[in-house]
Structure 1
């Protein structure tokens, strides 16, 4: 017999907090709670007229099975499945279907309780995904977790923590045996101190340690710990442990490589540097530091304008910009670098662009070799070659002179001896003998001259001395007194008393005597010849000027012969052309020089440059 529900019972059903419906055996709704109607936006009138299976059409089959099972008097387990609400949004429903008994324990229908568990279901899904993600990340990153429960003094290790420590799955961890895994010494002391501070003061830790696994393997880990509190009461500690051995070993290898590379570039006999796109130094080796006389810390971050003079810096910056724009390196370019203090050095420089993974240029690397000593040697070699060329020319000229003059004297002797042998007349023989004596004297004079030139060219220059100019010129004029008188020459000496000549005394005397005697000898046939002597100093030289108004020299015709041995330019008696040849060798031996200005019939100005340096 069907049990009738009283009004009071129906009122109680309507107020049930959980969505509940009483369903008749014909699947019509007998009673339904307001929470069902409100939660699922149903109308009481429409629900009661319809079959309960139409409430959630997508669940019809599953509900029909549970309802049939309830009609047999059996209690169904709670189930969950998805459905679509009125907005066709996917939702999740949890339901329980129970048999509905009357007072005589007859099944008169079923009781259905439902709940929208969409939010909880999604949270559960998210949590499950998160747990899976954590597990995967833990495996990949080798991060394990642990938890210490201070209430029951229990320590729990995650599976990854056991894997890191290389212990069995059934290993029972404790605080004591956990600490024993840390390498004895500073590692155990540090972790023990961290744990004590956490227990006493609630301190957290995050540090790198070495541990020894159960299989005796030394590994590096990062261990963390954070205390837990409940109502301000300490209840335990949670933490993580991560195996970072591969990273540590990789960092060690990188550091070793960096040290090796740094040692290599620091011992290269080259200046090595790396500059950013603004030409600021970001790496330098020891050679670069030594050249700039700065430490690497003082150089890093500086640009070329901070280190070199403005002109040099501008040139270097222009080169850098060209490389950055064209991406073409500069290889083996000779440059002159001028520092802020004016010091100049010659460098052979190469600069190349460096690229990142995207093939974008990110910086410049440069190599510079100081070739200043090489350039100096090169200049010395050029000078030596020039000197050798001059000496070879002199030797060739000397050899030519020796060959020419000795051959001339030999021919003259041979000819005179031939005449003497054939001549029978005593008077003529006397004349031939006189000519032989003159020829012998000329030969001796020639040999003396050649010896003097040879002495100048082969022996080191004697020590230079400071010679008072007027004293030396006075002595020269005294020795030429008779020649001055015979040539009716008036000599004016304008040299002041403070002028000194630095030179070899014998060379200076011979040079002044040669030039002044030539000026006197080649005076014009007039009532009075004039010679002016003056002096001045300029750029490391004392210059003695001897100016005459004599017959002069045709320089266009004879400029290459003026200082040749036995070269003469005038048909004058006793003119031999030796003195200027010897004087030139003497002035060059003292690193000096001659400068001549002359016009035929107007006179000659002879400037003698005495070098003041040693």
Structure 2
């Protein structure tokens, strides 16, 4: 190779090495710095001469040193060609900085180790952001726990007071028959009944919590659907409702038994409740596997929902979309929370006066 070309290549390598955005260092097999670029000196705060007079061990955090030395030993023995790790260094100003270290070894033709090439990337901000996020998640978890306890106390107390009011109303009604003809008493009684119902709903909402993974079981979807159909069979017979069960007997889901039963029953009774008076109700149940989910479809030929108008309110609490006297706007809210707490989600297709299809995605078992 011509001398000028060799010098040019050496100069090019020197420029690339010194001006690389990431830290690059060359160490001997004892861990002493023998060449570093500007990014390393900027990251660690030491001058080149200061680094050349020490080993990486001198500025490595003690909690990371044993792992680093173990990785380096494997590299020198030939058990590994390279390694990566996150580690802490002591900056010259005494602060701790985080780096992602990638190291590889250079050997001579005989296979003996000559030196170690290290790439040192500053991840201090990433670590700071991650630690802050973990701290905030911990705060949120603690606050959520406190709010959950508060909700339980409040709903318990409200339930007690509402029950007492109901007892007093019943007592007055029994002792003073003339009150039953008083319009104001009827208003009072209605208000107390509504209060009791509201407290009951709030109690159910307060029960919705994050699920302990240990409580989740693998459940057969067909068995639970079949049981729910049996539970509404008398009602279906009275209104001439046909329920077609095409759910696969081989589809399992990961769920809590009480939640799965509640989810299926709520959608099934809704399909019955919001039937059309223009035709006999037909409800078709089916299932399929999509990626990691077992999808339970429940299709009806009922009143349908105007999704353009109500789609974003469909699962909100106390939202109703038909003039059904039994509609409270609580069931779908609770059911959606149950589905999501199991790691699933719900999709809806609907057309007014044609019918609705709910697709419930649950983790396949």
Q: TM-score, normalised by structure 1?
A: 0.36
CA distance in 1, matches of 2:52, 2:212: 54
- Are residues 1:505 and 2:257 paired? yes
Contact 1:487 1:523 in 2 (8 A): no
User: Are 1:542 and 2:333 matched, yes or no?
Assistant: no
2:317 paired with 1:565? yes
Tell me the distance in 2 between the aligned counterparts of 1:541 and 1:375. 36
> In the alignment, does 2:235 pair up with 1:483?
yes
Where does structure 1 lack aligned partners over 5 or more consecutive residues? Answer: 1-254, 271-284, 309-333, 335-345, 350-363
Question: Which protein, 1 or 2, shows the higher relative CO under an 8 Å CA cutoff with sep ≥ 6?
Answer: 2
Does the alignment pair 1:264 with 2:264?
A: no
The residue number in structure 1 matching 2:120 is 367
CA distance in 2: counterparts of 1:265 and 1:293, whole angstroms: 14
Are 2:342 and 2:363, in contact at CA under 8 Å, matched by a contact in 1? yes
1:453 and 2:205 matched: yes
Greater helix share, structure number: 2
Q: How does 1:374-523 map to 2 (within 5 A)?
A: 374=127, 377=130, 381=134, 384=137, 426=178, 429=181, 433=185, 436-457=188-209, 463-523=215-275
Q: Say which SS state the counterpart of residue 295 (structure 2) adopts.
A: strand
Structure whose CA Rg is larger: 1
Distance 2:132 2:348 in 1: 29
CA distance in 1 between counterparts of 2:59 and 2:124 reads 15
What stretches of structure 2 of length at least 5 have no aligned partner? 1-29, 35-50, 84-97, 103-116
CA 1:576–1:480 in 2, change beyond 3 Å: closer, same or farther?
Answer: same
Question: Cα gap change, 1:428/1:463 in structure 2, threshold over 3 Å: closer, same or farther?
Answer: closer
Cα distance in structure 2, aligned partners of 1:542 and 1:612: 5
Contact 2:211 2:341 in 1 (8 A): no
Whether the 8 Å CA contact 2:336–2:346 is kept in 1: the answer is yes
- Given the alignment of the two structures, is residue 605 of structure 1 paired with residue 357 of structure 2, yes or no? yes
Say if 1:266 and 1:287, in contact at 8 Å, map to a contact too. Answer: no
1:298 shift after superposition: 4.9
Instruction: Give distance in 1, aligned partners of 2:301 and 2:136.
Output: 39
Per-residue CA distance 1:294-323 (angstroms, 9 max, x = gap)? 424759xx9xxx869xxxxxxxxxxxxxxx
TM-score by structure 2 length? 0.58
Deviations 1:191-247 (CA, angstroms, capped at 9, x unpaired): xxxxxxxxxxxxxxxxxxxxxxxxxxxxxxxxxxxxxxxxxxxxxxxxxxxxxxxxx
1:586 — aligned with what?
338
In the aligned structure 2, how far is the partner of 1:604 from the partner of 1:455?
A: 28
* Matched ranges for 1:153-172 at <5 A: none
CA gap 1:606/1:506 in 2 versus in 1, 3 angstroms: same
| Residue in structure 1 matched with residue 39 of structure 2 by the alignment | none
Deviations 1:136-165 (A, max 9, x none): xxxxxxxxxxxxxxxxxxxxxxxxxxxxxx
Deviation of residue 493 (structure 1)?
A: 1.1
In 2, are the aligned partners of 1:348 and 1:369 still within 8 Å (CA)? Answer: no
Contact 2:210 2:341 in 1 (8 A): no
Question: Aligned residue pairs: how many?
Answer: 272
- Map 1:254-293; keep pairs closer than 5 Å: 264-266=55-57, 268-269=59-60
1:103-152, CA deviations, whole angstroms, 9 ceiling, x for partnerless residues?
A: xxxxxxxxxxxxxxxxxxxxxxxxxxxxxxxxxxxxxxxxxxxxxxxxxx
Between 1:468-477 and 1:370-379, the stretch displaced more is 370-379
